[in-house]
Chain A
Amino acid sequence: MEKKKKRLGYVLITPAILIMVFVLIFPLVYAFYLSFFDVKLGRTIKLDFVGLSNYLDVFKNLEWWKSFLNTIYFVLADVLIGIPLGFMFALALNKKLPLKPLILGIVMFPYILPPIVHGLIWKLIYNPDYGFLNATLLNLRLIDQPIYWLVNTKLALPALIIANIWQGTPYAAIIYLGGLQSIPTELYEAARIDGATKSGLLKYITIPLLKPYTILLFVMKTIMTFKIFDIVYAMTGGGPAGTTKVVSYEIYHTAFEAFKFGKASAMSYILLGIVAIIVFIYQKIFGEETSIL
């Protein structure tokens, strides 16, 4: 009976496992293999073994490290600005509000949009001639000439970072809101009777009790923002002068525009390694509480 049960179990899980192995696991292994070769794509694929030289090339490649640094800026902004902002949103949403579902819907909407449309929306905001930002600044007479936000080498990266925070913040807000609702109200009542102030409640009850959620957001947001690609592709294509290039974009460019598939695979594995190291460091810092692992 038990044996038969288990056998049926393996039969039922097989389709799911097959698909995942075929589309996730095998390609990952294959990319690792490719990263040691010089890949020439013609009528047939030609592979020349080059050992570690793809990896060494990437480590010496200044463009790669530039795009890596840009990615770090996105991650830092998303973690250091996006998480506190999401926390404030959650505090505001945790009150009794009229039309709360509608407000909650509007707040979480940016998070579930297609990322390419997210890029499109912000391209319209920053458009020099028809964009909301220039229109508003001109109407308020704060500027008298339209600003070319996405073409300016100093402004493009901050402009993209703001757009990215716009999409990332709702996630933090929703997670924190869930956390806030899990805190028993008796705790606040008891503290209030003991004479705690509003800021005291926040400092000694809310923030410490939300710590697991904060840790979770640190990990998730780092991982998610490291993948950033679509809005960069849609809004600037890595320009002007490479100032908004991010690692995913650099890999894409190396593979599908420069056709260096071996090198791009090496980049992929270096990126995976870096993300794994960061997650590992987080785990060391936060210990057991990194609930996603």
Chain B
Amino acid sequence: MILFSFIPIYWTLATSLSYTANLTFTTKYWFPQKINFNNYKDIFSFSQGIYSVAYEFRVSIINSILIALVTTFIVLIFGSLAAYSIERLKVPFRKVIRYVVILTQMIPPIVLVIPIYFLFNSLGLLDKKITLILIYTALNLPFSIWILSSYFSNLPLSIEEAAIIDGCGYFEVLWRIVLPLSKPAIFSSSLFVFLSAWNEFQIAMILTTTLKSKTLPIAISQLMGRFLVDYPMLATAGIISMIPPALFVILFQKYLISGLTSGAVKG
């Protein structure tokens, strides 16, 4: 079981650490002859010119991080406001949100891409980071609202009521009482939002064309499509794109598992 999961990852790592000329050796002995970090150095240092593949990866990594972070931030703000208004301010949208969650899970992204392409084309918003942020926000909001509102509904009402009697506004209650008590749910949904923005490929592929907004998955897929493929470089980019998921799985496993199960099983 562990081998089944791990060998493909190991193989990518071994390829990324090999010299291109030595790949035959790596293949034969399942291990690189000489370990070589050059590809990693090229991507993270400024030694390579702006027309190099390393430069392209570096910029797209920065784009990916920016887009994923901003998306997470916006989703959390709007998501917790919406969840609070459903849970505590009696806005009757609970059912609607549930349907939108199912809708976003059911719809293949390609179905959305065509109209979205037309829409953003006519607004002159293609190939912009903000466009991807907006789309990822919309795709992640329903799920996050759902997770947050189910969590809010289990918090004890009495503290909030007492605070309101003491003259707190609803904003203050949300900010000082509800949100601090909901840290686990907020944390777990932010991990998922970040990952989904970091991983997304189909929409970014259609809506981005240049390094202004290209994300890491796009840069990887474009290098894969070239006629002569630099496998170690490609594998290096692959390994780098695994860093956030790997960190999450090591550091925040509990939250990932709880998000996976609570997102699917009722809620």
* Secondary structure class of chain B's binding surface, majority of residues: helix
Give every chain A residue within 8 A of B9 (Cβ-Cβ).
109-110, 121
Give every chain B residue within 8 A of A122 (Cβ-Cβ).
8
Docked complex Cα distance between A252 and B203 (Å): 11
- Asked whether A27 and B116 contact (CB < 8 A) given A117-B242, A272-B111, the answer is yes
Docked complex Cα distance between A16 and B105 (Å): 18
Number of residues on chain B facing chain A (CB within 8 A): 87
Give the residues from 1 to 35 in chain A that come closer than 8 angstroms, CB to CB, to chain B: 2, 5-6, 8-13, 15-17, 19-20, 22-24, 26-28, 30-31, 34
Contact among A130, A171, A230, A247 with B202 in the assembled complex (CB-CB below 8 Å): A230
Contact at B224–A114, with CB atoms within 8 Å?
A: no
Contact at B249–A130, with CB atoms within 8 Å?
A: no
Contact at A12–B118, with CB atoms within 8 Å?
A: no
Least Cβ–Cβ distance between A225 and chain B, in angstroms: 10
Contact at A265–B84, with CB atoms within 8 Å?
A: no
Most buried by A among B1, B2, B105, B115: B115
Least Cβ–Cβ distance between A266 and chain B, in angstroms: 11
Give every chain B residue within 8 A of A45 (Cβ-Cβ).
118, 122
Least Cβ–Cβ distance between A89 and chain B, in angstroms: 6
Contact at A13–B114, with CB atoms within 8 Å?
A: no
Contact at A120–B12, with CB atoms within 8 Å?
A: yes
Contact at A251–B134, with CB atoms within 8 Å?
A: no
- Asked whether A114 and B201 contact (CB < 8 A) given A20-B138, A139-B28, A251-B111, the answer is yes
Docked complex Cα distance between A89 and B4 (Å): 11
Docked complex Cα distance between A114 and B102 (Å): 22
B154 within 8 A of A: no
Give every chain B residue within 8 A of A5 (Cβ-Cβ).
89-90, 170
Closest A residue by C-beta to B27? A135
Give the residues from 61 to 85 in chain A that come closer than 8 angstroms, CB to CB, to chain B: none
Contact at B235–A10, with CB atoms within 8 Å?
A: no
25 residue pairs of the A-B complex, CB under 8 angstroms, read: A2-B90, A9-B85, A10-B91, A13-B81, A17-B93, A20-B141, A24-B112, A106-B2, A108-B253, A109-B249, A114-B245, A115-B217, A117-B238, A125-B11, A130-B23, A136-B30, A171-B260, A175-B264, A175-B265, A230-B202, A248-B109, A251-B110, A251-B114, A252-B202, A275-B106
